[in-house]
Amino acid sequence: MPPAMGQPINVVEKPSNTPGLARFEINRSLTGMGHERYASVDDILADRPVDELARRLFESGGVTQVHANGSMITVHLAEGWRGEQLLDVIRGLYIYYPVDGADAAPATEDTSTTEDAPAAGDTSDATTAPEAVTESDTAVASSEAVTPPVDERVATPGDRGGAPAEGEGQD
């Protein structure tokens, strides 16, 4: 299992005067200038980050509605839930391969077989297929690459990065 990858979202719970409502401010804009409202998990129709966050919040069991506007997230809390219980759900939106493995993506297996290879005597143009390129082909191509000329200009006093002009930088 690879180590956890990604960046956690910085999230701060903001005070709310309405009981059962939690407001969070994050360091990312999820919706740009638009609003997104989700009254239930059935309202989530896409796979954008804001949609995935709403999906995860509903799956936690702690919310009944989600509203996002830019970097502000407002949720209606389920009975007995507090906003602080949702902080890790929001923080982990961009974390892949989490340490606990609960949300880790399944490993893919190589299912290719020899039946996928072209038969001997096959006269089809295999040079255009991406799988026809071998490591030796890429090594030859990279060795033939043209390197740009090196700037051979010598720094003169007064140039940025050059030696200081006489009397400059001396105490």
Q: How far is CA 110 from CA 16, 25, 113, 114, 135, in A?
A: 51, 42, 9, 12, 19
CATH code for the domain of 35: 3.30.1370.70
User: What does the alpha-carbon distance between residue 33 and residue 23 come to, in Å, rounded to a whole number?
Assistant: 17
Q: Domain total for the chain?
A: 1
Average pLDDT over residues 84-99: 91
State the pLDDT at residue 2.
Answer: 74
pTM confidence score: 0.57
Residue 39 lies in a domain: yes
Q: Quote the domain boundaries for residue 67.
A: 12-96
Residue 18 lies in a domain: yes
Name the nearest CA neighbour of 36 among 67, 2, 10. 67
State the pLDDT at residue 165.
Answer: 54
State the pLDDT at residue 23.
Answer: 98
